[in-house]
């Protein structure tokens, strides 16, 4: 079955370290997204991509970067982790179709920055 | 003011109750309206989808959109403990634009 997987599922790191969260989907979807979910804020869009070599900033992109070198993967990098980036991160993908634009989410990556 | 407002709850109801969940929005360009359900420690999954105004029913679930009031609702009839989850409204405009999510409402259905 096609799926979307995130790794690691849990990570603890220290302030100032670089962290990369991986996202891999096997649906061959062109659209991929990274969200963070925090109590009191819901899901907020960090970065998104509509295809290979395409990346766009979302609502809360400061301190994060992404690159899209193939259709299947959109890794999220925290260049210098900060305590404010402690959160649950969700990757999602969707096909390029008019209509629902339904997002298919991964299981999430829980990041703690000490 | 955020584009999409949703009361985070929590909301606790007895089994069998009718549940009403709501969102308001400010962007009149929104045309596609969705409800996602998220179980604890899982990713959200699409529950209902509505295009423009109107109602849509799927089993015990009914989604309503009132574009004139910029107000959307999700009704759950005969609620079950298995409905206990966080419900997130989401919406977007035309074309290939990203979804904007509400904060989510945490629902508990007590047996």
Least confident of B24-38, B72-86, B94-108: B94-108
- For the segment B95-110, the average pLDDT, to the nearest whole number, is 91
Question: Which pLDDT does position A100 carry in this prediction?
Answer: 67
Contact flag A100-B104 (C-beta cutoff 8 Å): no
- For the segment B59-63, the average pLDDT, to the nearest whole number, is 97
Q: How confident is the model at residue A51 (pLDDT cuts 50, 70, 90)?
A: very high
- For the segment B43-53, the average pLDDT, to the nearest whole number, is 91
Contact flag B6-A42 (C-beta cutoff 8 Å): yes
- For the segment A36-51, the average pLDDT, to the nearest whole number, is 92
Candidates B44, B95, B104; nearest CB to A105: B44
Contact flag A103-B32 (C-beta cutoff 8 Å): no
Question: Which pLDDT does position A108 carry in this prediction?
Answer: 96
Question: Which pLDDT does position B51 carry in this prediction?
Answer: 86
pLDDT at B97 over 90: no
Residue with tokens 């004139």: B68
B60 in reach of chain A (CB within 8 A): no
Task: Please give the mean pLDDT across all residues of chain B.
Answer: 93
Question: Which pLDDT does position A77 carry in this prediction?
Answer: 98
The alpha-carbon gap from B97 to the nearest alpha carbon of chain A, in Å, equals 9
B66 vs B96, higher pLDDT: B66
pLDDT at B39 over 80: yes
- Chain B contact set for A42 (CB, 8 A): 6, 8, 88, 101-104
Distance between CA atoms of residues A71 and A73, nearest Å? 6
B44 in reach of chain A (CB within 8 A): yes
Distance between CA atoms of residues B15 and B96, nearest Å? 39
DSSP E strands in chain B: the ranges are 4-5, 11-14, 19-25, 32-38, 45-51, 54-58, 61-66, 71-76, 85-92, 100-101, 105-110
Contact flag B46-A103 (C-beta cutoff 8 Å): yes
Question: Which pLDDT does position A79 carry in this prediction?
Answer: 94
Our CA dihedral for A12, A18, A19, A23, rounded to 10 degrees, sits at 180
The alpha-carbon gap from A22 to the nearest alpha carbon of chain B, in Å, equals 15
Distance between CA atoms of residues A2 and B32, nearest Å? 25
Which distant-in-sequence residues (6+ apart) come within 8 Å of B106 by Cβ? B8, B9, B10, B11, B85, B86
What string of DSSP letters covers A35-100?
EEEETTTEEEEEEEEEETTEEEE-TT-TTEEE--SSSSB--EEESS--GGG-EEEEEEEE-S-SS-
Question: Which pLDDT does position A1 carry in this prediction?
Answer: 67
What pLDDT digit, counting tens, does each position of A63-95 carry? 999 999 999 999 999 999 999 999 999 999 998
pLDDT at A98 over 60: no
Which distant-in-sequence residues (6+ apart) come within 8 Å of B21 by Cβ? B6, B11, B35, B73, B74, B75, B76, B87, B89, B105, B107
- Burial (CB < 10 A; 0-12, 13-18, 19+), residue A11, is middle
Cα-based distances in Å from B68 to A82, B35, B65, B73, B106? 42, 19, 9, 14, 27
What pLDDT digit, counting tens, does each position of A7-30 carry? 999 999 999 999 999 999 998 899
Q: Is the dihedral of CA B77, B22, B42, A32 positive or negative?
A: positive
């Amino acid at each position: 079955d096609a799926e979307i997987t995130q790794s690691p599922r849990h990570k603890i790191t220290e302030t100032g370290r670089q962290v990369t969260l991986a996202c891999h989907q096997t649906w061959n979807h062109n659209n991929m997204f990274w969200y963070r979910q925090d109590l009191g804020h819901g899901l907020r869009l960090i970065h998104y991509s509509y295809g290979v070599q395409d990346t766009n900033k979302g609502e809360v992109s400061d301190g994060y970067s992404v690159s899209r070198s193939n259709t299947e993967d959109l890794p999220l990098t925290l260049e210098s982790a900060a305590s404010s980036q402690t959160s649950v991160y969700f990757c999602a993908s969707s096909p390029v179709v008019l209509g629902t634009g339904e997002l298919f989410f991964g299981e999430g990556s829980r990041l703690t920055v000490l | 003011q955020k584009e999409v407002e949703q009361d985070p709850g929590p909301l606790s109801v007895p089994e069998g109750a009718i549940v009403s969940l709501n969102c308001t929005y400010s962007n009149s360009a929104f045309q596609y309206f969705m409800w996602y359900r998220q179980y604890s420690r899982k990713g959200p999954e699409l529950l209902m989808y509505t295009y423009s105004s109107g109602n849509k029913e799927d089993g015990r679930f009914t989604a309503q959109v009132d574009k004139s009031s910029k107000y959307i609702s999700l009704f759950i009839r005969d609620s079950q403990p298995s409905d206990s989850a966080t419900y997130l409204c989401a919406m977007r405009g035309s074309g290939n634009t990203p979804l904007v999510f509400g904060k989510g409402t945490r629902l508990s259905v007590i047996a």
